[in-house]
Structure 1
Amino acid sequence: MLFEKRISKGQRLSNWEADTLSDAQKMYAALDAWACLRIFNELKYRAKVKGG
């Protein structure tokens, strides 16, 4: 659970070397990138608040 959102990890073991990615793989990659950005921004915000 991340920011009250559940992210399925079912696609992480799929064939990422395929010539064409499935729609599910594309969605997984997009959500994974979004989650990383959210985590980064949250940590940056907390450091700013804590560091004043």
Structure 2
Amino acid sequence: MATEKNQNPAENLVEKAEARSEKIEGKVQEAIGKMDNDSQDVKEGQAKQAEAKKKG
């Protein structure tokens, strides 16, 4: 796997966009879980956000 130093700017931008998309998906899932009182959705949404934070 290439490191950030070896990636071209376009590849880096794609990875950041994917991470941001995953973070948004997690926020939406968490919010829906809170509205529906679904603790599993809240936990999964928070986990997606944490994973996205690690990626970029």
TM-score (ref. length: structure 1): 0.61
Instruction: Give the partner amino acid of 1:17.
Output: A
Give unmatched runs, 5+ long, in structure 2: 39-56
Identity of aligned residues (%): 8
Distance in 2 separating the partners of 1:28 and 1:22: 10
What does the per-residue CA deviation read over 1:18-37, in whole Å, with 9 as the maximum and x for residues that have no partner? 76101110000100100010
More helix by percentage: 2
Matched, 1:39 2:21: no
TM superposition outliers: structure 1 runs of 4+ over 2 Å = 16-19
Distance in 1 separating the partners of 2:12 and 2:2: 13
Equivalence for 1:49 = 35
Higher RCO (CA-CA < 8 Å; seq separation 6+):
2
Instruction: Give the partner amino acid of 1:30.
Output: K
